[in-house]
Amino acid sequence: MTNLVDYRKVKKVKCDGYIFDSKKEFIRYQELKLLEKDGQITDLIVHPCFLLWPSFRDHHSKKLHRAIHYFADFRYIEKGLKVVEDTKGFKTKDFKIKEKLFRRIYPELIFRIL
């Protein structure tokens, strides 16, 4: 049996001006806010954007290919280390590709998937 998610049941949650894709992501946001308040992490950023591949023009045509970005759920500093975090119920094919690109381009960042 595969681990499938019915997207019709996944509810977005709004809080502090952010829209979280799931209740799980929202709960993690609340946990991180408490950790930041307690001084265990600093510089919490919600939905940071990372460039994975810049836009370019195909030299054989005039077609412009759009840049590829990865929007993580959170970025913060923990014990002096920069951490990027994503809250996932499961990994999609697109996410697996972006994860590989991210790990290759940003090896200095700790990448966590919860």
In sequence order, what are the beta bridge partners of 110? Answer: 83
Domain assignment present for 10? no
Domain assignment present for 20? no
Domain assignment present for 26? no
Domain assignment present for 92? yes
The domain in which residue 74 lies consists of 40-113
For a pLDDT cut of 90, what percent of the chain falls above it? 76
Q: How far apart are CA 85 and CA 111, in angstroms?
A: 6
In contact, 78 and 106? CB cutoff 8 Å: no
| pLDDT at residue 9, rounded to an integer | 63
| pLDDT at residue 8, rounded to an integer | 54
Q: Which two tokens stand for residue 98?
A: 């972006």
Number of domains comprising the chain: 1
**Is residue 4's pLDDT more than 60?**
no
In sequence order, what are the beta bridge partners of 69? Answer: 51
